[in-house]
Amino acid sequence: MKSFKLVTALPFVLACNTIFADTKDDIVEQNKNAIAKNTNAIASNKESIEYLQDVLLDIPEDIPKPLRLTYCHGMDIIQWGGCPQLLGTEITLKVIYQPYPSSAIGTISSINLETVIDPGHEFPRINELDIYNYSLVNVSIDVGDDYIEIGFRNASSGRFSRAVENTYVLEFDKMASGKIGSATIDRSVTTLDLSDSDVRLVDNELFINVESLPFNPSSFVRINIGQ
At residue 19, the pLDDT reads 46
pLDDT tens track for 119-174: 778 888 887 665 555 678 889 999 888 889 999 999 989 999 899 999 999 988 87
pTM of the model: 0.62
The answer on pLDDT for 1 being more than 50 is no
Residue positions counted in the chain: 227
